Each structure stands twice: as C-alpha cells, then as structure tokens.
Amino acid sequence: MYQTRYLRAADVADAAAKLDDDAKLLAGGMTLLPTMKQRLASPEVLVDLADCGLSGIEDTGDAIKIGAMTRHVDVERSEIVQRAIPGLAALASHIGDRQVRNRGTIGGSLANNDPSACYPAAALALSATIHTNARDIEAEDYFLGMFETALEEDEIILAVSFPKPEAAAYAKFPNPASRYAIAGVFVARTTGDGVHVAVTGAGDDGVFRHAAMEAALNISFTPAALDDVEISSDEMISDIHADANYRAGLVREMAKRAVTACQA
Amino acid sequence: MLSEMLSEMLATPPNKGTGRRKVRGMVKICLTVNGASVNDDVPDNMLLVDFIRERLKLTGTHVGCDTSQCGACVIHLDGESVKSCSMLAAMADGKSVTTIEGIADGETLHPMQEAFHQNHGLQCGFCTSGMVMSAIELVTNNPNASEQEIRDGLEGNICRCTGYHNIVKSVQAAAQVMSGR
C-alpha cells in the first residue's frame, strides 16, 4: 500500500471539510483497503467515517431507513429488517463472509457500486432512496454503470430508505472464494409498481433491471413463468469464473429461486 | 538503514505530479491487546496484522493471501472476528484486540484449541489460528450450530491441507464443552 494520511472525521461536516482532490472516504474498508493493498487505488488521504454517527436502522412507516455506516451483520440481525423486508436481511447475511459482514457497510457498498455486489440489486429492485448530505437520489437515477454512481466528488451518503414491498427475495450464485455474485437476482413485489427484477454480478455495466422477466412475472408470479423469457448474454460479463452464456443461465436460475423464496 | 530507505522508495509512488515526496505519515494509537494496554506511533498505512506481528511480535496471526479471502489473519476486535489484513492499525485505536495468543487461560488451552488438538483439526497449522478465532465467535453466537452451519460459518477461512472434515469435528467438539454439554 502506498503512503497515505489517515484522518478520523468527528462528524459529517468535518468529513466533508476534509474531502479534497485526493481524499477518499473510508467506511468498513472491505473494498477500499484490499484495493489499496493491490495499489489499484492510492488516495493521499483517507477520511474515516466511523465516528460520524451514521449507523442505525429505523422503521419510518412506509420504509426501512438504514444509516450508511450500518454494518451488514447489523442489517442481518435487525428485527426491524427481518420483520419488514426479510429478503434484505437474508441478502446481508450472505455478503462476503462473517468477517466482511462484521466490518462492511451498506453505504460503502452503494458508494462503490461494484458490478458484483449484492446491495445494488436490492436498492434498484426496491426503488430505494439514497439520502446524501446534499440531496435525495432515487435508485433509478443513482446507478450509472460499473463503479459509477450519481454521487458528486464531495457528496457523502447518510442513509438509504427501502420502501416496504409486499414480498421480496434475493438469490445469488456466489464465487466460492470471494463470495461475490457471479449472478445475483433480487425480485420484489413492490407496493404499487408491480414486480421488479434487478440483476447483479452478470451485467458488464453494473446492476440492471430485466424488463422481460418483470413483464412475465407481472402476468404470472411463478418460477415457471420465467422458462421462456429471453435472457440475452449480450452485455453480460465473460471472465475466468463464468462466460456470458453461463451467466445468462445463472440469471434465469437465480431469478426462479428468488421467486420461489418470495412465495415461501 | 538501507533496507528501510529502499522500502520507503518502493512504497512511495514516483512523480505524483508535485515532484515532492510526501512526508511519512504517523498516527498515535492506543488500544488493548490481549488485555494489556498498548500505545504506539504507527505509519498511517500500516495494516493491523503487520502491527500485531511486527510491532507486538505476536506472530500467531498469519498473512496467508493478498486478497482478503483466506482468513489466516482473523482476530477478534471488540469480541467480533475481523480480518486484520484488511484493517489499518489506526482503525483499531480505542478498541480491544484479542489474538490467538490471548485465548488460553494461563497453561490451560481454550476449549477450541484443545478440541483442534484432540480431533486432529490441523496439519500444517497455517490456517489454524484464524480458524480457531472464527470458530470461537461462531460457537459463542450459535452454541448449537449444526454441521452445515459450522461449514457455512467458516466460509471466511480457507484450509489447503485438511479438507475441513476434522476442523468441523473439532468445532463440534468444542461447542459441546463451551456450552457445558
């Protein structure tokens, strides 16, 4: 890892003030630090958000609001999340491994927008709202491509609100070592906008919603309804773990499993 | 010393636009390690695992990969298992660290250590300290863990020698003792 300067922010305003041209925010560090160890990133300054009071989960009535620094393990174990959106708690329980879940945060995951991360699929499928220190951003406007988000350089995620669905579930085919999604599908029967199906791990430009699967499931919410849907392998990732055709097959299978889990 | 100069030269990216080499960053940390208070000045970019191994000379915690996947570096931070290779020492300021050296009770092995010993839960031993630390948290949180829950719960620890079978047996045996069964 190159030299860097570690700063701990006292609060969000302090963190914003410490953000200059070559500073990066540090949340759980489960992506940023391994990246820095590989010298794929070399920020001159790290601004640690640990003391900024951004953890916590609340039920706001129509939605579940999760603070940006809330760890995956805390989403997993939250009775509030388990009661309102159990599919989200289950998603959190399978991110990485136990040690990653003890450190990694939802804000860090969404700010990074790794094309194989799990939370982007949940945020997109549930039409989440990303609350920053400048504005609120709807999920459909937030994910701009692989590792690209609508966040400005000095913008800090404070919390994420997930509207409560009628039913929701996530199914992932994980890489056996990293546990990242080779393909992960989040299916949500939303309140008022029908079925949303968001795919992660498979698309070469990051998380996306699959219109044809949504249309089929709006007609018949069953795994069998997905049998004849065309799932194109164009614009899917081919790498050492799986080629695009295999990923397209995995997407169909994970979608069916998620539908089944919704019905349970 | 020449080796330190060389390390610093290699560690600092050349010609970062300013033409000036950055001043080496140091940060003061104060934490508890295996019950004892520790104070030190560390480089900002020093990993917690390197602090534990090189500054504190606690070499039971191991560096097994460069990709944060193997779990040989797992320790407890405020009682929860974390990969010490994926934290900066500076992030542990104010916290309590427990390493493999800190879990025995004097000369008496921790039940998890004893179980690995009795059930041949290791061959080369390189993954073992991380396995033990992960397994202690697993059993503490889930005293009646099933075999599948143990296998899944140790997904953050990779072993190249044993095929995991005796590791799982060891954890099951320890769980019995730790929950007084």
pTM: 0.93
Mean pLDDT, chain B, whole residue set: 91
Residues of chain B in contact with residue A33, where contact means CB-CB under 8 angstroms, are: 47, 68, 86-88
Q: In CATH, what number is assigned to the domain containing residue A33?
A: 3.30.43.10
- For A89-129, how does the pLDDT look when each residue is reduced to its tens digit (9 = 90+)? 999 999 999 999 999 999 999 999 999 999 999 999 999 99
- Select from A163, A196, A220 the last residue of a domain: A163
Mean pLDDT of A21-48: 96
- For B12-63, how does the pLDDT look when each residue is reduced to its tens digit (9 = 90+)? 554 343 333 344 579 999 999 999 999 999 999 999 999 999 999 999 999 9
How many other C-beta atoms can be found within 10 angstroms of the C-beta atom of residue A97? 24
Q: Which residues numbered 85-124 in B keep a CB inside 8 Å of some CB on A?
A: 85-88, 90-91, 93
Please enumerate, as own/partner, the contacts of B140-144 that have beta carbons within 8 Å and a separation of 24 or more.
B140/B178, B143/B175, B143/B178, B143/B179, B144/B175, B144/B179
Question: How much is the pLDDT for B19?
Answer: 34
Give the CA angle between residues B167, B80, A119 to the nearest 5°: 95
Query: Does residue A159 share a domain with residue A63?
Result: yes
Helix (H, G, I), strand (E, B), or coil: what is residue A130?
A: strand
Cβ contact, residue pair B82, A29, below 8 Å:
no
Q: Give the model's confidence band at A20: pLDDT under 50 very low, under 70 low, under 90 confident, else very high.
A: confident
Mean pLDDT of A211-221: 98
A42 touches chain B (CB under 8 A): yes
Question: How much is the pLDDT for B4?
Answer: 60
Tell whether the model's pLDDT for residue B1 goes beyond 80: no
Tell whether the model's pLDDT for residue A132 goes beyond 80: yes
Three-class SS of B47-86: EHHHHHHHHCCCCCCCCCCCCCCCCCCEEEECCEEEEHHH
Question: How much is the pLDDT for B17?
Answer: 39
A28: its two tokens: 């759980």
The residue among A94, A50, A54, A56 whose CA lies nearest residue A76 is A94
Q: In CATH, what number is assigned to the domain containing residue A79?
A: 3.30.465.10
Q: What percent of chain B shows pLDDT beyond 90?
A: 85
Higher model confidence: residue A28 or residue B12? A28
Mean pLDDT of B149-157: 97
B77: its two tokens: 């931070």
Cβ contact, residue pair B11, A2, below 8 Å:
yes
Question: How much is the pLDDT for B181?
Answer: 79
Cβ contact, residue pair B82, A99, below 8 Å:
yes
ipTM: 0.94
How many other C-beta atoms can be found within 10 angstroms of the C-beta atom of residue A264? 7
How many other C-beta atoms can be found within 10 angstroms of the C-beta atom of residue A245? 11
Give the closest of A42, A98, A177 to B134, CB-based. Answer: A98
Cβ contact, residue pair B12, A3, below 8 Å:
yes
Handedness of CA A145, A150, A154, A160 (dihedral sign): negative
B125: its two tokens: 């031993």
B78: its two tokens: 């405020």
CATH number of B111-178: 1.10.150.120
Query: Does residue A156 share a domain with residue A123?
Result: yes
Question: How much is the pLDDT for B24?
Answer: 59
Element (H, E) at B16: none
Q: What percent of chain A shows pLDDT beyond 90?
A: 97
Q: Which residues pair with A172 in a beta bridge?
A: A184
**Beta pairing class for B26-33 and B96-98:** parallel
CATH number of B24-102: 3.10.20.30
* Range scoring the smallest mean pLDDT among A51-60, B12-21, B128-137: B12-21
Rounded CA separation A166/A84 (Å): 9
What is the extent of the structural domain holding A28? Answer: 5-48
Question: How much is the pLDDT for A177?
Answer: 80
- DSSP 8-state code for residue A7: E
CATH 3.10.20.30 location in chain B: 24-102
Question: How much is the pLDDT for A178?
Answer: 82
Pick the residue of A93, A98, A100, A180 with the most B CBs within 10 A to test the interface with B by mutation: A98
Question: How much is the pLDDT for A176?
Answer: 85
Tell whether the model's pLDDT for residue B11 goes beyond 70: no
Mean pLDDT of A169-176: 95
Query: Does residue A241 share a domain with residue A180?
Result: yes
Give the closest of A2, A102, A178 to B81, CB-based. Answer: A102
A40 touches chain B (CB under 8 A): no
Mean pLDDT of A62-78: 98
CB within 8 Å of B125: residues ≥ 6 apart: none
Tell whether the model's pLDDT for residue B65 goes beyond 80: yes
The residue among A217, A227, A222 whose CA lies nearest residue A194 is A217
Pick the residue of A20, A97, A101, A240 with the most B CBs within 10 A to test the interface with B by mutation: A97
Tell whether the model's pLDDT for residue B132 goes beyond 70: yes
Element (H, E) at B156: none
Tell whether the model's pLDDT for residue A142 goes beyond 70: yes
Mean pLDDT of A178-184: 94
Query: Does residue A172 share a domain with residue A156?
Result: no
The number of folded domains in chain A is: 3
The DSSP-derived string for A35-98 is HHHTTS---SEEEE-TTS----EEE-SSEEEEETT-BHHHHHH-HHHHHH-HHHHHHHHTSS-H
Separation in Å, CA of A106 to nearest CA in chain B: 17
